[in-house]
Structure 1
Amino acid sequence: MWFMYALSWIAFIVIAVCLTIAVAAGMYYVAELIEEYTSVAKRVIRIMLITVTVLNVLLIIFETQFTWTLCGIGLLSNIIYFCILADFPIIGFLSPTFLFAMVLLVIHHYFAFSFFNHHYYPFPEILAYFTIFVWTVPFCFVLSLSANDYVLPQYAEPQRSRYDGDAMTNNGGDLVSNYFKKRAKKIGLLAFMRSVQDTILPTRNKKY
């Protein structure tokens, strides 16, 4: 009996590792698609936001146990996500909109956990709420972070006023320098996965 019990744990570990690798590979593929087709990704995220907003309103109508506070936080979060989507794929990590969205995400988790602690719902329904109303849209933005690294170069407004006086000594206000400075500081899920891939996976040298 102990032998089969040990084998069951080994099988569970193997399945967990395979699922983790499969999810990571899927996220890597989706992040590359978003990086290549940013306009399509923006439309998809907008459709998802509209769908989640409509479902949130229907949740208020058909599920009377859900509090107005919890649903209101969900609707307010969607409004902030629409504001972030307006500048997609450019996402300013230190912008007030993005920081406020992160604060709302934490608050949304807190009120959701508090609600389900006081009201009984089956686990699949709890998972459905968190997946659809809490995690889906922020997860799409996380997958889209690497697309910000490949936006066409833009002239930074603060640097415009700083360097307009002397164009010959302009060391940071032109398009090219801003672009390569941005490219040198890649962040996001896809950039992280690529660094892990380059570190862990073996590379093959091409033979000519």
Structure 2
Amino acid sequence: MWFMYALSWVSFILIAICLTIAVAAGMYYVAELIEEYTSIAKRIIRLILITVTILNICLFLFETQFTWTLCIIGLISNIIYFFILADFPVIGFLSPTFLFSMLLLVIHHYFAFSFFNSHYYPFPEILSYFTIFVWMVPFCFVLSLSANDYVLPQYADKQRDQYNQDSMLNNGGDVVTNYFKKRANKVGLLACMRSIQDTILPTRNKKF
């Protein structure tokens, strides 16, 4: 009996490892697609945002147990995400809009946990709420961070105003040099995965 119990734990660990690798591979593939097709990705994220907003309104109308505070926080978060999406794929991590969206994400988690602690719902319904209303849109933006690394330099763009003349001189003297130096220090999800891939899987030299 103990032998089968031990084998069950071994199989559970193997399944967990396989699922983790499958999810990581899927995220890597989707991040590459977003990097390649940023305009299509923007339209898909906008469609997801509109759908989640409509579902949030339906949740407020048809689920009487849900408090109006929780639904309003979700709606305000979606409005802020629309402002972030307007400049996609450029995402300013220090912009007031992005910082406010992160604050709303933390507040949304707090109110959601508080609500489900005081109201009984089956676990699949709780998971569906967090997946659709809390995590889905921020996860789309996380997958899109790699697209921000390949935006062509546009000094006239309002997102590039932070690079003034002094910072440009300190980083190479012109817009193009500053752009390529910025690309050398990418911190996106896809760049992180590629770094892990290069570390774990060594590159094989081709022989001719």
- Asked if structure 2 preserves the Cα contact closer than 8 Å seen for 1:38 and 1:147, the reply is yes
> Aligned partners of 2:108, 2:75: CA distance in 1, in Å?
10
The answer for the alignment partner of 1:166 in structure 2 is none
Shift in Å at residue 128 of structure 1? 0.4
C-alpha distance in structure 2 between counterparts of 1:157 and 1:94, whole Å: 13
- In the alignment, is the contact (CA less than 8 A) between 1:153 and 1:179 conserved in 2? yes
SS of the residue corresponding to residue 44 of structure 2 reads helix
Name the residue aligned to 2:89.
89
* CA shift digits 1:79-119 (9 cap, x unpaired): 00000000000001111111111111011001000000000
Query: TM-score w.r.t. structure 1 length?
Result: 0.93
Aligned 1:137-176 pairs, distance under 5 A: 137-155=137-155, 156-159=160-163, 172=172, 174-176=174-176
| 1:43 aligned partner | 43
2:122 maps to 1:118: no
Does the Cα contact within 8 Å between 1:154 and 1:179 map onto a contact in 2? no
**Percent of paired sites with the same residue:** 81
* Distance in 2 (alpha carbons) for counterparts of 1:122 and 1:4: 31
What is residue 14 of structure 1 aligned with on the other side? 14
Q: 1:47 to 1:181 in 2, by over 3 A?
A: same
Match of 2:187 in 1: 187
1:6-38: CA deviation from partner (whole Å, max 9, x where unpaired): 000000000000000000000000000000000
- Report how many residues are paired: 204
Distance in 2 separating the partners of 1:133 and 1:48? 11
**Distance change in 2, residues 1:97/1:172 (3 Å):** farther
Q: Distance in 1 between matches of 2:202 and 2:170?
A: 42
Q: 1:154 touches 1:178 (CA, 8 Å); kept in 2?
A: no
Structure 1 residue runs without a partner (length 5+): 164-168
What amino acid does structure 1 have at the position aligned with 2:195?
S
* Other-structure match for 1:108: 108
1: CA distance, partners of 2:101 / 2:174: 31
- 1:133 shift after superposition: 0.2
User: What are the ranges of 5 or more consecutive residues in structure 2 without an aligned counterpart?
Assistant: none
Normalising by structure 2, we get a TM-score of 0.93
Seen in structure 2, the aligned counterparts of structure 1 residues 170 and 10 have a Cα distance that, compared at 3 Å, is: closer
Question: Which aligned runs of 4 or more in structure 1 are off by greater than 6 angstroms?
Answer: none
Q: Which amino acid aligns with 2:196?
A: V
Are the aligned partners of 1:89 and 1:151 in contact in 2 as well (CA < 8 Å)? yes
Residue 132, structure 1, aligned to residue 132, structure 2: yes
